[in-house]
Amino acid sequence: MKNIVVKDLKTLEEIYGHPAEPSVLKEVDFIHPLYRPYIEATPFVALATYSADGMDVSPRGDEPGFIHIEDDHTLLLPDRRGNNRIDSMRNLLINPAIALLVLVPGINETLRINGHAEILIDEETLARFKYNNALPRSVLRIHVERVFFQCGRALIRSGLWENKYLADKSTIPAPGQILKSISHQQFDGDKYDAQLPERIMKTLY
């Protein structure tokens, strides 16, 4: 069977139709007072960036409140310890466009935020996000351009908050085993996995 590939907007709209009124009404260009609780309650967001060098979606997580709402158009997001690949940061230096998907445990609706960002490293800003005597490497100042909630169908279907499909850890390859396989057994994956939990906890911030 030959695949049919959609190549024009007219065909796409014929398949999906037009969005219902609530789907359009919900979008604003600022942080509406009723969208603030999503940001204040979230411990996790997915952060997306794009440049000529490629696309990236990166997890960002911390205790609720880790994203500061400066005003109706501005967010501050600290960048904590990670793998130092800085894929998102590289992209932002070339193209400041950014998108966040905000998740709140137990809530099926998510919040989508689009805008542009810049990377701050001044001492005063970093100090605002000091935790356990550790400063973030940098802070993203996000200028909000579009905000709207996403309906809960995806999270309901996934059963995410019900732990409906909670994986058996033994069935998912551990990081060290992946590295061992990719390196054709040259990397000591067993040692890496044995040390990883303690190393992560010591370098969490």
Q: What residues make up the domain containing 177?
A: 167-202
Spell out the residues 6+ positions from residue 204 whose beta carbon is closer than 8 angstroms to its own: 80, 81
User: What is this structure's pTM?
Assistant: 0.93
Mean pLDDT by 10 residues, the chain (205 residues): 94 93 96 98 98 93 97 97 93 97 98 98 97 95 98 96 91 97 96 96 91
Question: What Cα–Cα distance (Å) separates residue 30 from each residue in 40, 75, 82, 154, 181?
Answer: 15, 11, 30, 25, 47
Structural domains counted in the chain:
2
pLDDT number for residue 164: 84
Say yes or no: 48 and 135 in one domain. yes
Per-residue pLDDT, 69: 98
Please report the pLDDT score of residue 7 as a whole number: 95
Regarding whether 87 and 35 lie in a shared domain, the answer is: yes
For residue 63, what pLDDT is reported?
A: 96
Q: Is there a domain that residue 138 lies in? A: yes
Kind and range of the H or E run holding 37:
helix 36-41
